[in-house]
Amino acid sequence: MKLPVIKHLTQFIEENDEDYVVETIETLEALTEVPSLKDEELDVIGELISNMYGAVEVNKMIKSGTPKKEALNAFMKRVMGSIDN
C-alpha cells in the first residue's frame, strides 16, 4: 500500500462518491479471475485493490470525525503493525 495513492483516492472519494471506488474494486476483483493474466498483472491489480480498500477505510474514519491527516496516519500505522506481526 502506498500512502500517496491512498491519499489521492481519499480526495477523489471526498470530491465524488465512495461508490465509484467500491464499484472499481468489484470490477478489478472480477478481472482477477481471468485465467490468462500473468502473475505480474495480478500483482498490479492486487496493489490497486488494496490501495482502494485503504482509501475506503480512511474515508470511513473521516466520516466518523477523525481529521484526514490523523485518519491516514492511523491507517498506515495499523497496516505497518499488521505487517510486523
Return all residues near 74 (Cβ < 8 A) that are at least 6 apart.
Answer: 61, 66
Q: How far apart are CA 46 and CA 49, in angstroms?
A: 5
The pLDDT assigned to 85 comes to 54
Buried b (16+ CB within 10 A) or exposed e, 29-54: eeeeeeeeeeeeeeeebeebbbbbbb
pLDDT along the chain (85 residues), means of 10: 93 96 98 96 96 96 95 88 63
State which H helix or E strand residue 27 sits in.
Answer: helix 18-31
Joined together, the cell numbers standing for residue 5 give 495513492
Helix H or strand E encompassing 17: none
pTM metric for this prediction? 0.88
